[in-house]
Amino acid sequence: MNRVPSAPHEGLAPADERGAASDGDRFAVMVTVFNGETFLEEQLDTIARQTSPHVDIWVSDDGSSDGSRPLLERYAHQWSKGSFRVVDGPAEGFAENFRSLVTNPAIEADYFAFCDQDDLWDADKLARASAWLALGDPSKPRLFGGRTRIVDARGAVSGFSPLFRKAPSFRNALVQSIAGGNTMVFNRAARALMATAARRAPFVAHDWWAYQIVTATGGMCRYDPEPAVSYRQHGGNQIGENDSWGARLRRIQAMLDGTMVGWNARNVAALEASAELLTPEAIEVLSHFRTMRTGSLPARLAAFTRSGIYRQTTLGQLGLLAACVLRRL
The model's pLDDT over 169-211, given as tens digits with 9 standing for 90+, comes to 999 999 999 999 999 999 999 999 999 999 999 999 999 999 9
Residue 47 covered by a domain: yes
CA neighbor of 168 nearest in space, from 210, 121, 107: 210
| pTM of structure | 0.89
Give the chain's domain count. 2
Q: Per-residue pLDDT averaged across 276-303, rounded?
A: 98
Last residue of a domain, one of 181, 203, 232: 232
pLDDT given at position 20:
56
Give CA angle at 182 (180, 184), nearest 5°. 80
User: Residue 254: is its pLDDT beyond 80?
Assistant: no
**218 touches 148 (CB < 8 A):** no
Give CA angle at 122 (120, 128), nearest 5°. 135
Residue 181 covered by a domain: yes
Q: Per-residue pLDDT averaged across 133-161, rounded?
A: 95
Q: Which domain holds residue 165?
A: 26-232
Verify that 55 and 187 share a domain, yes or no: yes
Phi, psi angle pair for 90, to nearest 5°: -75, -10
Query: 69 by DSSP, 3-state: which?
Result: helix
**68 touches 37 (CB < 8 A):** yes
Verify that 201 and 312 share a domain, yes or no: no
> Which of the pair, 2 or 287, is modelled with greater confidence?
287
Q: Per-residue pLDDT averaged across 154-180, rounded?
A: 95
**88 touches 15 (CB < 8 A):** no
